[in-house]
Amino acid sequence: MRFSEYLLATLKEAPKDAETLSHKLMIRAGMIRKIAAGIYNFLPIGLKVFRKVENIIREEMNNSGAVEVMMPFVTPSDLWIKSGRWDLYGKELLRLKDRADREFCLGPTHEEVVTDLVDREVKSYRNLPLTVYQIQPKFRDEIRPRFGVMRAREFVMKDAYSFDLNEESADKSYSKMFDAYKRIFERCGLRFRAVEADSGNIGGSFSHEFMVLAETGEDVIMVCDDCDYAANIETAPVIFRQKDLNSKQHEKNRGAGKDMPENKIEKISTPSCISVKDVSNFLGVNITKIVKTMVLSTNEGLEAVLIRGDHELSLTKYKKHRGLDFAELAMDDEIAKINTVKGFTGPVNLGIKIFADNELKNMTSYVTGGNEKDFHLLNVNHDKDFNIEDFMDCRQTVDGDECPGYPEYTLKSTRGIEVGHVFKLGTKYSESMNAVFTDRDGKDTNFYMGCYGIGVGRVVAAAVEQHNDKNGIKLPFSISPFEVLIIPTDIKNEKVITYANDLYEKIKLESYDVAIDDRAESAGVKFKDSELIGVPYCIVVGPKSLEKNMVEIKDRRTSNKIEISKDDFSGLLDFINGK
RNA sequence: CGGGGUGUAGCGCAGCUGGUAGCGCACCUGUUUUGGGAACAGGGGGUCGGAGGUUCGAGCCCUCUCACCCCGACCA
């Protein structure tokens, strides 16, 4: 590619609204441009990187036996009504009507369409297992799109769907995909972790998120540095150790942190102390001696869950352990109905079922809300003052918690960008959409499904986030916009331009993705641009070095540079090949 | 959806107490340059997000509206 004929849209300054490093760099490098909130143009440089990522994904999908299909971006409402998601999906689903007033939506994901597709074509167990995939745009009307293409509304996703006879076979499909994902992200040169994630309401199944490690990641994950263990903070299990409450050690700690004897409940005025922090500061009580009472609205009605003051509730784990389909924090008016006050909720005389995190087992004489505005209670004890229906692991893990892999290791929190998700669906969609095949015994059976997504644009952004320096982007060879760039420093110099052009043609013949910056720009501009867009190898052809029969080659990532005889073509290729 | 903020040239910004719109970069022409975002000279580009209002006069004041950005939506 000749830059004189190319659309190179580099910028010295990034627009004010670009937040993260990758977002700024992608705009400055002329990879992307925003056209509306969460909707982007990919310019040539961005598209080249995008295509390389896409091709790696496609190759690995094909290698793992998945077959590519294309499904529509606009999908009819009846498929969604059939699966029940037309009503379940909220405003994220962008709905539209055609000229005849028929309802459609822009596909946010394609379980419905693919289930329908496979159901129509696959009739027999003999045709299973089958994995199909698509690489296409999707649309989710996000509440808050941000960070450029990292969290866009329209985005391209690779989505694979596996169809199997049964769970055992589905597990094999799953692990094939899992392995393919590892190869994909390795080939893209990313530092990542496969993280245990929420498997949702489908009991017994499992799910992994592929997280690229980066500080700007939106997800918090818990990782063990000493073993492979990694899990989303929402789902990571807490290894609970029961303490001996009668021990001397515990004796010292009891009593609301104020050395109060463990006796009667004491009601105490705590004006305007709504948060745990307020209460802790006001009473001078350690936050770990306070119990938060959280009222949840669930498909089984209102219930309360108790959590130690410094911990956070994991609704995901709570729902799972309670076997609930639905649970969220109760609204103010719901809380008002049960004779308590938001900010001062407590378990004593609370007229609903009370559950608690395991940690409560290790607590006595704690502080709780008084169910009355501006009052809290001291020296509260479960069993004595109120009853707990059940204990469970329902808090988020924190730094220093025990690693579920090995008791001697501890977990540490870090941030990650979710670039991929592999998920066992089971028969959720094949049941709701009545998608069946005929099994060995001639009986109709629901497909056992799995789904596997990768955000292509997000992989590009994550790669930029991980690979850059003060001069710009430095992508790995496998996904860089060009592999080699030739920079003639003076295009008016006959010898320089002739040599550079010849070299360009020769390297092209070797099947490298090569470009030549033959614009009438000064050398400095060309150097800056090459660094900004992140070309791994630059060959500088200038009059001075050419006089000495030499050219210069630079490695963007290591900053190594060598001078080499202008006729030593194989030496030049060796450098590019990392020899 | 709640709170906050910003809209002035392609990008980054300035514009006072209301008086007819400016800077840097980018762009165009010419000359000189050409190894780290060149120099000089000249030039083009704005219904100041939109609508309405106040005023002799509005980028600036008022009302409405649109767009975009940030924070929050796990508070007990």
- What are the DSSP calls for A17-62, one per residue? T--SHHHHHHHHTTSEEEEETTEEEEPHHHHHHHHHHHHHHHHHHH
Residue of A118, A152, A121 whose CA lies nearest to A448:
A118
Gap from A313 CA to B63 C1', Å: 46
A292 CB below 7 A from strand B atoms:
yes
Give just the sign of the alpha carbon dihedral A45, A210, A185, A422: negative
- Angstrom CA distances, A322 to A203, A223, A318, A356, stand at 12, 26, 6, 11
Phi, psi at A413, each rounded to 5°: -90, 145
A305 CB below 7 A from strand B atoms:
no
Cα A468–chain centre separation: 20
Gap from A15 CA to B5 C1', Å: 16
Residue of A439, A380, A361 whose CA lies nearest to A169:
A439
A17 CB below 7 A from strand B atoms:
yes
The answer to whether the CB of A311 falls within 8 A of the CB of A301 is no
Write out pLDDT tens, residues A501-555: 999 999 999 999 999 999 999 999 999 999 999 999 999 999 999 999 999 999 9
Q: For residue A18, give the nucleotide whose C1' atom is nearest its CA.
A: B69
In angstroms, rounded to a whole number, what is the distance separating the alpha carbons of residues A274 and A282?
11
A465 CB below 7 A from strand B atoms:
no
pLDDT along chain A (579 residues), means of 10: 92 84 92 87 94 97 96 92 85 86 91 94 96 94 84 92 95 95 96 77 66 84 85 84 70 49 77 81 86 87 89 85 81 76 86 91 89 88 91 89 88 89 90 94 95 94 93 95 96 93 96 95 94 96 93 94 94 91
The per-residue pLDDT for A67 is 97
Gap from A513 CA to B25 C1', Å: 32
Where do the CATH 3.40.50.800 domains begin and end in chain A? 482-576
In angstroms, rounded to a whole number, what is the distance separating the alpha carbons of residues A488 and A570?
20
Where do the CATH 3.90.960.10 domains begin and end in chain A? 248-392
A34 CB below 7 A from strand B atoms:
yes
Cα A443–chain centre separation: 40
Gap from A154 CA to B15 C1', Å: 38
Return the CATH number of the domain spanning residue range A482-576.
3.40.50.800
Write out pLDDT tens, residues A285-334: 888 889 999 888 888 888 899 999 888 888 888 888 888 877 888 777 77
Query: Which of chain A's residues 364-393 bind strand B, using a 7 Å CB cutoff?
Result: 369
A528 CB below 7 A from strand B atoms:
yes
In angstroms, rounded to a whole number, what is the distance separating the alpha carbons of residues A269 and A508?
80
The per-residue pLDDT for A456 is 95
Question: Which DSSP symbol is given to A69?
Answer: -
Q: What is this model's ipTM? A: 0.89
Phi, psi at A493, each rounded to 5°: -80, 115
Q: For residue A344, give the nucleotide whose C1' atom is nearest its CA.
A: B76
Gap from A512 CA to B30 C1', Å: 40
The per-residue pLDDT for A201 is 44
Q: Classify residue A33 as exposed, middle or buried by CB count within 10 Å of its CB (0-12, 13-18, 19+).
A: middle
Token code pair at residue A189: 């040169």
Where do the CATH 3.30.930.10 domains begin and end in chain A? 46-237+413-464
Gap from A518 CA to B21 C1', Å: 39
Return the CATH number of the domain spanning residue range A46-237+413-464.
3.30.930.10
The per-residue pLDDT for A52 is 97
In angstroms, rounded to a whole number, what is the distance separating the alpha carbons of residues A512 and A503?
12
Token code pair at residue A462: 């994550």
Token code pair at residue A160: 């694979």
Residues whose CB is less than 8 angstroms from the CB of residue A71 and which lie 6 or more positions away in sequence, other chains included: A107, A110, A113, A114, A117, A134, A136
- Superfamily of segment(s) A248-392: YbaK/aminoacyl-tRNA synthetase-associated domain (3.90.960.10)
